[in-house]
Amino acid sequence: MNTILALAGVAIKELYRRKDFYVLFVVTAVITLVMGSVNFFNEEKVVRYLKDICLLLIWISSLVIAVGMTARQIPAERESRTIFPLLAKPVTRGQVIAGKFAGCWLACGIALFVFYLFFVTVSSLKERHLALAEYFQAFWLQWAMLGVVISMALLGSVVFSAPSANATICFVTIAGILILGSHLNQVAATEPRPFGALLSGLYFLIPHLEWFYEVRERLIFDQSLLSWGDCLLATAYGAAYVAIFLFSTWLVFRRKILTA
């Protein structure tokens, strides 16, 4: 456990050293504040418009941080040749995978917390009440979703040699799931076999990230709080895909030949 935490600490420190987080946060803050100063609509619509823009930027920024950070973890270790003394300590490859995931997930959690702190502050200036429970649920479910994204990118980092290729494929996959994921089953019902059966199988196979994205709409339109049972179920759903992706990463990485 100490080894995993030490590896995680390295990934968390990387968040502070690199400029990705700072640039994305400043861009999000500036765009949100500029949009919040527009007074073309009545007050209620301004609040919804502001929350919509801010949450969209938070989702985009968190995905960029998660995929970008994770995609370069193992390739950077190989390029700098630090992976060889690391595995000679001895540190198992499973511990490397677990440490990299834990570090990236915790680092994304810290970044996401800062983003949501800004979001809550801006919202409180426009609204007369603070729905802290709803904000916490949205934060937690988005963080759980990022766990799935990070584990997916970590698998790509041991499959693809270039971080850029891994990041591109991850972004395309994530965008495809968010846009088309919920419609695959409906399209499958209208298609003949075997293409329809293939789409139906794909629908049940992919992680439905769009289910987590729907919580954003509940915040925008001030809808009721999700039941904590549903929140726990969604967390378990995300954790199951994290376990599948991490196990697949370990299977690939343990057989991967590392050459100096």
**pLDDT of res. 45:** 63
**pLDDT of res. 233:** 94
Distances (CA, A) of 42 to 38, 48, 50, 222: 10, 10, 12, 17
**Count of beta carbons in the 10 Å neighbourhood of residue 11:** 21
Write down the pTM of the prediction.
0.90
Domain boundaries, the chain: 2-254
Q: pLDDT by residue for the chain (260 residues), tens digit each?
A: 777 888 888 888 877 788 888 899 899 888 888 876 665 555 556 677 888 888 999 999 999 999 999 998 888 878 777 777 777 777 888 888 999 999 999 999 999 999 999 998 888 877 766 778 888 999 999 999 999 999 999 999 988 878 889 999 999 999 999 988 878 777 777 777 787 788 888 888 889 998 888 888 888 777 777 888 889 999 999 999 999 999 999 999 888 776 65
Q: Is 207 exposed, middle or buried (0-12, 13-18, 19+ CB in 10 A)?
A: buried
**pLDDT of res. 184:** 78
Cα–Cα dist 37/105, whole Å: 34
DSSP string, 44-91: HHHHHHHHHHHHHHHHHHHHHHHHHHHHTHHHHHHHTTTHHHHHTSS-
pLDDT in tens, 176-193: 999 888 787 777 777 777
**pLDDT of res. 44:** 57
**pLDDT of res. 185:** 78
Q: H or E segment at 247?
A: helix 228-254
pLDDT in tens, 202-215: 888 889 998 888 88
